[in-house]
Every structure is written in structure tokens, then in C-alpha cells.
């Protein structure tokens, strides 16, 4: 089945130790998003790729970076994780940008813990 | 920035009772989407509303978009244990620069008492 896959499901890292989260999709969607969701809060958009074009949200810390080497894969790099970065990180895709009324398909998320 | 507020934040209902969550925006929305997130799960798309005053139904779920396109509601009739989860609205805003952004509401967590 076509889907959005995130690995790993749980990730533990140390304070300040770089970590990379992975997302892949078999939907062949143009747009891939990274959201941060803390407990009992709404998903917060960090950035998105429209094809190869990177779009950063104004309030996303520089500590967060992303790479999209091809259509199928997208990575979230946290250069120096702090305790406040512990959260669920959700990858999502849409066929086109949301302006064209496209719905989001979410992966199962990676729960990041920072020790 | 644009904000989308939802009330209530939490709702506990007896199984079989109705449930409603309300979504409000300070500015006009282009459209609104609704997502359901089960405990420990990820958001799953439910529906999208585009037209002013639009009403859509999915079995026991009724979705409404306000006339001014600033508010929306989700009503569940005769709740079941499978309805447990957090319901998020997500509003699409058109900025002054012409770009668009989907902003999630604060969510309403529904728990069912069997």
C-alpha cells in the first residue's frame, strides 16, 4: 500500500548530539512536510519541500535542518538537540501545495527523547 | 500570526452522548480541514470544507463551515468508543503576499466513558 513511512518509531539521543530522522513516501507526492508535535499540542510546521524547493517557517530554529535528496525521501536533522526538542516529529506529504486544497498524509511519527 | 482556536480543549462524554468541537479563526479562511488523531497515533484526514455555510456529513459526523468562513464545527452523534481521540481543525490562510499556510487548531481531546 502507498504510504508515508517514518523511521525509527522511537529515537533517543543525548543533549547536543546530532540526530537525523527519516521519512519516505511511496505516494509520489510533490510536497513533503515536517511537523513538530509536543504533548497535548497541535502539530507545528517546521518546514516543507515543494519538489526541490525548501520553505522554512519563520519561527523554526536554525538548529533544525532538512534534506530531500529525491522525491521519495526527506530527512530532518537536529544539529544540537536540547531538552526542549523532545517531541513527536511527524512527516506528511501532499500531492501539491495546500493552496490547491490538498489533504495531508501523515506518517506514524518519530518520538524523540533527549537525555 | 494566524491562530486557530478550538474549544473545548477536553471533552469527556458517556458513550451514546453527542459531542461537538468548535474551531475559530480571527481571519477569514480559504478552506478548513479536519483531522483525527487516535491516542499514540498520527493525524488522519477526515474532510475538507471550502464553501461558505457548507455542511458535510460522514455517517455520525457532521461538519459545518461558517458563513463568514471564520469558524467551523464538528458534531458527532451518539458517540462510540471508536471515536476516542483528538480532533484537529486546520485552516488554510491566504497571506498578504499571496502564499498559503495550513495552520492546525489547538485540538479537542475526546474521551468516552463506556
Q: Which pLDDT tens digit goes with each residue over B62-85?
A: 999 999 999 999 999 999 999 999
| Residue B95 · residue B84 · CB < 8 Å | no
Q: Output the pLDDT for position A110.
A: 96
- CB of B85 within 8 Å of a chain A CB? The answer is no
Q: What residues in A contact B90, CB-CB < 8 Å?
A: 104
Judged by CB atoms closer than 8 Å, whether chains meet at A98 and B45 is answered as no
Q: What residues in B contact A98, CB-CB < 8 Å?
A: 92, 100-102
- CB of B3 within 8 Å of a chain A CB? The answer is no
pLDDT in tens, A84-114: 999 999 999 998 876 666 899 999 999 999 9
B106 is in which domain, residue-wise? Answer: 4-113
Q: What residues in A contact B45, CB-CB < 8 Å?
A: 103-105
How many domains in chain B?
Answer: 1
Judged by CB atoms closer than 8 Å, whether chains meet at B102 and A45 is answered as yes
Please, which residues bridge with residue B111 across strands? B12
pLDDT in tens, B5-55: 999 999 999 999 999 999 999 889 989 999 999 998 999 999 999 999 999
Domain ranges of chain A: 4-108
Judged by CB atoms closer than 8 Å, whether chains meet at A42 and B41 is answered as no
Cα B67 from Cα B37, distance rounded (Å): 27
Write down the residue that cell numbers 513538530 correspond to: A36
Q: Output the pLDDT for position B102.
A: 85
Predicted confidence band at A4 (pLDDT cuts at 50, 70, 90)?
A: very high
Q: What are phi and psi for residue B61, nearest 5 degrees? A: -100, 135
> Which parts of B50-84 are beta strand (E)?
55-58, 61-65, 71-76
Give just the sign of the alpha carbon dihedral B49, A89, A82, A68.
negative
Q: How many residues does chain B have?
A: 114
What is the distance in angstroms between the Cα of B43 and the nearest Cα belonging to chain A?
6
Q: What is the CATH number of the domain that holds B80?
A: 2.60.40.10
Is 3.30.1280.10 the CATH classification of the domain at A4-108? no
Nearest alpha carbon to residue A88 among A34, A33, A48, A16: A34
Amino acid at each position: 500500500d502507498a504510504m508515508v513511512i517514518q523511521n525509527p518509531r522511537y529515537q533517543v539521543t543525548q543533549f547536543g548530539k546530532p540526530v537525523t530522522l527519516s521519512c519516505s513516501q511511496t505516494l509520489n507526492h510533490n510536497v513533503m512536510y515536517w511537523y513538530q508535535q509536543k504533548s497535548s499540542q497541535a502539530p507545528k510546521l517546521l518546514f516543507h519541500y515543494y519538489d526541490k524547493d525548501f520553505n522554512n517557517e519563520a519561527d523554526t530554529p536554525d538548529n533544525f535542518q532538512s534534506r530531500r535528496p529525491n522525491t521519495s525521501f526527506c530527512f530532518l536533522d537536529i544539529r544540537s538537540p536540547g531538552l526542549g526538542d523532545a517531541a513527536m516529529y511527524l512527516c506528511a506529504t501532499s500531492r501539491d501545495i495546500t493552496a490547491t486544497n490538498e489533504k495531508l498524509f501523515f506518517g506514524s511519527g518519530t518520538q524523540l527523547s533527549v537525555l | 500570526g494566524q491562530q486557530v482556536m478550538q474549544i473545548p480543549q477536553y471533552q469527556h462524554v458517556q458513550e451514546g452522548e453527542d459531542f461537538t468541537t468548535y474551531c475559530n479563526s480571527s481571519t477569514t479562511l480559504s478552506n478548513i480541514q479536519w483531522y483525527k488523531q487516535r491516542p499514540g497515533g498520527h493525524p488522519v484526514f477526515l474532510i475538507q470544507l471550502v464553501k461558505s455555510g457548507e455542511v458535510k456529513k460522514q455517517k455520525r459526523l457532521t461538519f459545518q463551515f461558517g458563513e463568514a468562513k471564520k469558524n467551523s464545527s464538528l458534531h458527532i452523534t451518539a458517540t462510540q468508543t471508536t471515536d476516542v481521540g483528538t480532533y484537529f481543525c486546520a485552516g488554510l490562510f491566504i497571506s498578504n503576499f499571496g502564499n498559503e499556510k495550513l495552520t492546525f487548531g489547538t485540538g479537542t481531546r475526546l474521551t468516552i466513558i463506556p
